[in-house]
Amino acid sequence: MSVLTTNILVPHGREESWRFTPLNRLKGLHDGSAAIAEHRSLSMHSEVTPGVSFERISRELLPSLSTTDDAVMNRVREFSLDVAVLKIAANTEVSSPIHLSRKTFDLNAAEFSRVLIHVGSNARATVILANTGDTLLAEEIEFKVESGAHLTFVTLQEWDSKTVHVGKHHAIVDKDAMFKSITVTIGGSVVRLLPTVEFTGPGADAELIGVYFATAGQFFEHRIFVDHCVPNAKSRVNFKGALSGDKAHTVWIGDVFIRANAEGTDTYELNRNLLLTDGARADSVPNLEIETGEIVGAGHASTTGRFDDEQLFYLMSRGISVEDARRLVVRGFFAEIITEIADSEIQDRLMQRIDDELVKAGA
Amino acid sequence: MSTLEIRNLQVSVNTETGAVEILKGVDLTIKSGETHAIMGPNGSGKSTLAYSIAGHPKYTITGGSVTLDGADVLDMSVDERAKAGLFLAMQYPVEVPGVSVSNFLRTAATALRGEAPKLRTWVTEVKDAMDALSIDPSFAQRNVNEGFSGGEKKRHEIMQLELLKPKIAILDETDSGLDVDALRIVSEGVNRAKDANNLGVLLITHYTRILRYIKPDFVHVFANGKVVEAGGPELADKLEAQGYAEYVGS
């Protein structure tokens, strides 16, 4: 068992990056009090095809590619047993999605997991990570998307009700490469994800989209950061959330930083929240910091609202019950993002889960 | 045989400065197979009448009654009114993002018929309804009213009228924003629905143009929140010649 060798500052909740997170529900992931699990929950389900490899490498041999001041991520780097590495060789086109999953493990011991997904130059792949069951997990997933490569990463938080999951999903996107992530969070007790992007070459492109649906007592946080540190890169962020039930709480932070040298930047971020009942709370904080005016565009929008009475009236005037009308509107609200997942079975499964959550919540 | 009876209907809306009375005692009786045109100047309360009968939450009923074959319509929820046999073709149909026309129509038909229509016959039914209104088949996959042109929205409303087969339909300025060809296509749809289901129609319009295609049995002039004159089709000719000046100045 590792001994604490670095001096990691423990967050207390007053820090900007922790101010919304219920630290008392993190089961010790943040302060070192959690027992460290011996298991590795990540597995791959797809056949290994030429140019694709999945292996575990000693963490001493493979330090993290990015810097972080996040206390939980520093613990991940300290305590992970090894690094799971999914590698797609240069010029490899992987035709069907690569499926990864995590399933139920111990809720009393924390898994600290490091993952690297490395896509070589001009390679193309889609990776789908499905999370189910209940577990206690801190993970750092890094993506290295080399020049001209395209990676689509789908992460599905379909947890049961007790999971505590803290993760950073950090993409390093090189010249003319494209990184797209689709983040779906519809299960768990506390889920805090940090989808972040760092560009390392001009012409790089990142699209981060996602949906979340929190019901009574659930806390889901998505804290996005896109660092425009090179010229002529493009980023798009679009997250949609619905909330239903007492003390359902979501947080969306969209930080975009356009550095002085990032001329020609084109960025837009959007967050929309649908409050289905009283007693729920959606925090939405877009934040754009611009150090150069020589850009193509930079914008953001954030809305939080209730059901549109006109939409419900229109549907009901055709005989559709209020429950079915709400279900249609919520499904429609999420469809824009869910239909981007190139797997109709997963689309159906997620829509069914959303329907089930709606019924459970009695919204 | 169905009868929609509107008796002394009074309706107000809440505004920032308090409740404003819009309908000031409307009396109308519409029976199956009859077509009633309601004509009046802008702001006379014609649309309020339509939306109040359909149950829009914005309007408060302050007096009077609306019954369909004796059943109290005002006591019904919006979907119950549709199930009872009322239909409102809206002047401004609402966009519903992410919900396809095909899914919407099937959900509505399932709700109104009490069971899901059999897939094979349903597909044919929808295709025929779309063909009859010169609607492109790709329409079914588009989101409800999203990005529709004015004419497409109106055709979509009348397609629903034909598919959902109500007893009484209220058409709220269905003619507005239509060119001559679209007006003819939409009117033919209304006439088909009348013939097929012995539909009773309450046709709300500002202009007499649509009455060349959909022949009214009765014409009612609406001004200042009530019916001020009633007659046969010849009343429309008089309005065509003289306008509404006689009714609004007073």
**Three-state SS annotation for B57-119:** CCEEEEEEEEEECCEEHHHCCHHHHHHHCEEEECCCCCCEEEEEHHHHHHHHHHHHHCCCCCH
Token pair, residue A355, equals 């329907």
Q: What is the pLDDT of residue B42?
A: 87
Token pair, residue A295, equals 């850009």
Task: State whether residue B167 sits within 8 Å of chain A by CB.
Answer: no
Token pair, residue A245, equals 């039930």
**A103, A57 in Cβ contact below 8 A?**
no
User: How far is Cα B186 from Cα B199, in angstroms, rounded to an integer?
Assistant: 15
Radius of gyration of chain A from Cα atoms?
20
**A347, A334 in Cβ contact below 8 A?**
no
Encoded amino acid at A111, one letter:
E
Token pair, residue A315, equals 């549907």
Q: Label residue A68 by pLDDT band (50, 70, 90).
A: very high
Distance from CA of B50 to the nearest CA of A (A): 12
User: How far is Cα B213 from Cα B188, in angstroms, rounded to an integer?
Assistant: 7
Mean pLDDT of A89-107: 93
What are the E-state strand segments in chain B?
3-15, 18-31, 35-39, 59-68, 71-72, 86-89, 96-100, 143-144, 168-172, 200-205, 218-223, 226-231
Q: What is the pLDDT of residue A3?
A: 45
User: How far is Cα A313 from Cα A275, in angstroms, rounded to an integer?
Assistant: 18
The tens digit of pLDDT for each residue in A47-63 reads 889 999 999 999 999 99
Q: What is the pLDDT of residue A7?
A: 64
Token pair, residue A198, equals 């760092």
Task: Return all residues near A278 (Cβ < 8 A) that are at least 6 apart.
Answer: none
What burial class does residue B173 get, using C-beta atoms within 10 Å of its C-beta: 0-12 exposed, 13-18 middle, 19+ buried?
buried
Distance from CA of A172 to the nearest CA of B (A): 32
**A140, A171 in Cβ contact below 8 A?**
no
Task: State whether residue A10 sits within 8 Å of chain B by CB.
Answer: no
| Residue in the structure block whose two tokens are 């992410």 | B98
Token pair, residue A30, equals 């943040």
- pLDDT tops 90 at residue A105: no
Nearest to A190 by CA among A105, A250, A100, A245: A250
Token pair, residue A253, equals 């932070």
Nearest to B149 by CA among B175, B121, B177: B177
Q: Which helix (H) or strand (E) holds B163?
A: helix B150-164
Task: State whether residue B114 sits within 8 Å of chain A by CB.
Answer: no
Task: State whether residue A270 sits within 8 Å of chain B by CB.
Answer: no
- Classify the complex by whether its ipTM is higher than 0.85, answering yes or no: yes
Q: Label residue A1 by pLDDT band (50, 70, 90).
A: very low
User: How far is Cα B93 from Cα B154, in angstroms, rounded to an integer?
Assistant: 8
Task: State whether residue B182 sits within 8 Å of chain A by CB.
Answer: no
Encoded amino acid at A246, one letter:
D
Residue B53: its chain A contacts at CB < 8 A?
none
Task: Return all residues near B125 (Cβ < 8 A) that are at least 6 apart.
Answer: B117, B163
Which of B52, B107, B110 to substitute to test the interface with A, most A CBs within 10 Å? B107
Is A336 close to B98, i.e. CB distance below 8 A?
A: yes
Is A319 close to B79, i.e. CB distance below 8 A?
A: yes
Encoded amino acid at B58, one letter:
K
Of chain A residues 311-340, which have a CB less than 8 A from chain B? Answer: 311, 313-322, 324-325, 328-329, 331-336
Mean of pLDDT over chain A: 94
Task: State whether residue B97 sits within 8 Å of chain A by CB.
Answer: yes
Q: What is the pLDDT of residue B245?
A: 86
Task: State whether residue A307 sits within 8 Å of chain B by CB.
Answer: no
Mean pLDDT of A128-132: 97
- Hey, what domains does chain B have and what are their CATH numbers? 1-245 (3.40.50.300)
Is B78 close to A311, i.e. CB distance below 8 A?
A: no
Is A309 close to B103, i.e. CB distance below 8 A?
A: no
**Domain residue ranges of chain A, discontinuous segments joined by +:** 14-306
Show the low-confidence residues of chain B (pLDDT under 70): 249-250
* Closest by Cβ to A324, choosing from B78, B95, B111: B111
Q: Label residue A2 by pLDDT band (50, 70, 90).
A: very low
Distance from CA of A190 to the nearest CA of B (A): 28
The tens digit of pLDDT for each residue in A149-172 reads 999 999 999 999 999 999 999 999
Number of A–B residue contacts, CB under 8 Å: 83
Among A103-107, A124-128, B70-74, B212-216, the range scoring the smallest mean pLDDT is A103-107
Angle at A172 between CA A294 and CA A144, to 5 degrees: 150
Residue B78: its chain A contacts at CB < 8 A?
313, 316-317
Distance from CA of B85 to the nearest CA of A (A): 9
Is A332 close to B97, i.e. CB distance below 8 A?
A: yes
Mean pLDDT of A169-196: 98
Is B104 close to A333, i.e. CB distance below 8 A?
A: no
**Three-state SS annotation for chain A:** CCCCCCCCCCCCCCCHHHCCCCHHHCCCCCCCCCEECCCCCCEECCCCCCCEEEEEECCCCCCCCCCCCCHHHHHHHHHCCCEEEEEECCCCECCCCEEEEECCCCCCEEEEEEEEEEECCCCEEEEEEEEEECCEEEEEEEEEECCCCEEEEEEEEEECCCCEEEEEEEEEECCCCEEEEEEEECCCCEEEEEEEEEECCCCCEEEEEEEEEEECCCEEEEEEEEEECCCCCEEEEEEEEEEECCCCEEEEEEEEEECCCCCCCEEEEEEEEEECCCCCEEEEEEEEEECCCCCCEEEEEEEEECCCHHHHHHHHCCCCCHHHHHHHHHHHHHHHHHCCCCCHHHHHHHHHHHHHHHHHHCC
Is A334 close to B99, i.e. CB distance below 8 A?
A: no
- pLDDT tops 70 at residue A118: yes
Token pair, residue B115, equals 């069971």
* Closest by Cβ to B98, choosing from A319, A325, A333: A333
A107 vs A236, more confident: A236
